[in-house]
Chain A
């Protein structure tokens, strides 16, 4: 589509709005500046935390602008979308004229352009113009694809040209941006990003999605046969290793040890080692010791299901487990977070550290509660993702690198070597024009003239 073929005034205006490089400069700078925000305000934390930190007014404003998840906000996405349209329109607009330069009907050399070139070098020759011409032509025509010889007022002009196709380099760079955008779109529509914690010896066939905490079922189960970590002497972590099996129709079909940097890939789904931790077995023993009588009651409990307290005094639930829990600045390891709903009075949250059975005395309740038989096990934390957009993104990466290389380090060069005779003296001049690369062209002409001087 070119301007003349588009009679509609409005479309025309929109088109030329998006065809402007001024707009790209504005968008690129806006993207750079707004991206800063998300690095200063930590992203995707709990809304409560933000509320505490910023106060009510700022919290509302920031929340309205999606500042807490700004890279996925409508306005940031619109900027990316504008950039993409901008690139597409701009490229279409310019491609036709670039195409004419790359594939001209006939080579087009204008001697005056070369005579004005700043990189023009001149040197005297001792052999006859014809001889010079023949030597130069045979040497130059090997190096330049397009080559023509013309006679001028007082001698010859030899024109050479190469690297026309390199003008396509920028289109490669711009195409690669479009591929990246397309790839990330495909990924966010058809892919997912989840995680799951699997204790040693157990398996699961569903994972939690990161963006909305919902569960996603897989076509297979992942079993953690074993989890190990090793440390260096200094105590720094050396290796995290999970031995996994993929189980389909009750058959283990793949077995692999995964490490950080060495994931397991299966049917388009990738499983990464991402964290680990310790968790209690599902069955626990809760001990209630009555303060007054010293009587001991032992009850079996499972996480998250309430049990009756002795003497019909209420219910007790083990809700959560922390391998590390900071209590008044002291780290209590292996701590259970529990809740107690007495018959009368307010529900209470209490903490029970498994390693300190007398800790609960401090609470001054009717019962001293402790938890034992936790049978702690290690679990492996896996990141489970699927991203069908990755091939597009990687193609974009490759094209971007090649495109940048071609654009920056190769260039379309036209050279002219003029042999002229005046007053019985023969002089040779060499000059070059390139689209943009001035220093590169200057250096090329310097090298060219050195070669030519050595030929005769």
Chain B
């Protein structure tokens, strides 16, 4: 089996898990929830196996390198990181609801990665990417992005719940209480902030290694800083100004838009980050 076959299988596994999570949540059933968790575990392990296999395949082609070097490979890693983080959070804080908001993301990411416009060929590394810092940089950034993606999902739920509360709709009332959502957002933002910080720092060290400058204000760098500043604002507003709930949820959404822009939008801007 080739790594791309594995990736198309796990796309369906992730989709299946997402459906089960939503099903178990809407119909208040525990068994589908457990199955969903099991499916996510299978998906994440398959995802990991696929990444390792792709790594091996690149060596067989004589251009061996960690599969973290272009858009396609970063999406695959992104999906795995989100799946692993939400499994961990669900287990650690005993909140199955996290699966409902988080599990569709790996599915959507994998589905997006399999679109024909995204080049999935294993390519050799251009000289600028031939560095071990590449691995540290991409991994930490994407773990950070994953945590922010989950925070975003939780924040959207918060906003949905708070807007629809008056009608007392049955589904919305099954979303966990505001405090839990708020804490979850905060936890995920802290987790993401640490990793984004490490991601930006490893990027800076790498840039200093390759180009002789640790910071050059190129659009990708600048947008990662903008993202970081938005989340730093969130942490301060919450901790010191006592912001909670809706305002924090809105800031967390804003932060995630900055993440998306750092990831995709920057390529629309003029600039130098030759990556992908």
In the assembled complex, A419 has its CB within 8 A of some CB on chain B: no
Residues 415-447 of A, flagged 1 when their CB comes within 8 A of B and 0 if not, give: 000000000000000000000101100010000
Residues of B within 8 A of A260 (CB): 127-128, 130, 210
B226-A36 in contact (CB<8A): yes
In the assembled complex, A342 has its CB within 8 A of some CB on chain B: no
B225-A385 in contact (CB<8A): no
In the assembled complex, A91 has its CB within 8 A of some CB on chain B: no
A408-B130 in contact (CB<8A): no
In the assembled complex, A21 has its CB within 8 A of some CB on chain B: yes
Residues of A within 8 A of B239 (CB): 436
B230-A439 in contact (CB<8A): no
Residues 396-412 of A, flagged 1 when their CB comes within 8 A of B and 0 if not, give: 01001100110011000
- Could you tell me the distance in whole angstroms from the C-beta of A174 to the nearest C-beta in chain B? 11
Residues of A within 8 A of B162 (CB): none
Residues of A within 8 A of B123 (CB): 234, 236
- Could you tell me the distance in whole angstroms from the C-beta of A235 to the nearest C-beta in chain B? 11
In the assembled complex, B236 has its CB within 8 A of some CB on chain A: yes
Residues of B within 8 A of A234 (CB): 123-124
B233-A401 in contact (CB<8A): no
Residues of A within 8 A of B198 (CB): 401
CA gap between A339 and B32 in the complex, in Å: 80
B213-A263 in contact (CB<8A): no
In the assembled complex, B93 has its CB within 8 A of some CB on chain A: yes
In the assembled complex, B266 has its CB within 8 A of some CB on chain A: yes
Residues 129-151 of B, flagged 1 when their CB comes within 8 A of A and 0 if not, give: 01100000000000000000000
CA gap between A404 and B271 in the complex, in Å: 31
Residues of B within 8 A of A238 (CB): 124, 126-127
In the assembled complex, A193 has its CB within 8 A of some CB on chain B: yes
A272-B219 in contact (CB<8A): no
Count residues on chain B whose CB falls below 8 Å from chain A CBs. 50
User: What interface size band does chain A fall in?
Assistant: 35 or more
A404-B193 in contact (CB<8A): yes
In the assembled complex, A124 has its CB within 8 A of some CB on chain B: no
Question: If A31-B229, A240-B127 touch, does A42 touch B236 (CB 8 Å cutoff)?
Answer: no
- Could you tell me the distance in whole angstroms from the C-beta of A408 to the nearest C-beta in chain B? 4
A28-B266 in contact (CB<8A): no
- Could you tell me the distance in whole angstroms from the C-beta of B52 to the nearest C-beta in chain A? 24
Residues of A within 8 A of B191 (CB): 408
CA gap between A400 and B128 in the complex, in Å: 27
Residues of B within 8 A of A32 (CB): 225-226, 229-230, 233, 258
B233-A383 in contact (CB<8A): no
A-B contact pairs, 26 of them (CB 8 A): A21-B241, A24-B236, A25-B236, A25-B241, A29-B230, A35-B222, A36-B226, A39-B266, A42-B270, A43-B217, A238-B127, A259-B127, A260-B130, A261-B128, A261-B210, A263-B209, A263-B212, A270-B212, A383-B212, A385-B212, A385-B213, A390-B208, A397-B201, A401-B198, A409-B190, A409-B194
Question: Which A residues have a C-beta under 8 Å from some C-beta of B?
Answer: 21-22, 24-25, 28-29, 31-32, 35-36, 38-40, 42-43, 71, 184, 193, 232, 234, 236-240, 259-261, 263, 270, 272-274, 383-385, 387, 390, 393-394, 397, 400-401, 404-405, 408-409, 436, 438-439, 443
Question: Which B residues have a C-beta under 8 Å from some C-beta of A?
Answer: 63, 92-93, 123-124, 126-128, 130-131, 183-184, 187, 190-191, 193-194, 197-198, 201, 204-205, 208-215, 217, 219, 222-223, 225-226, 229-230, 232-233, 236-237, 239-241, 258, 266, 269-271
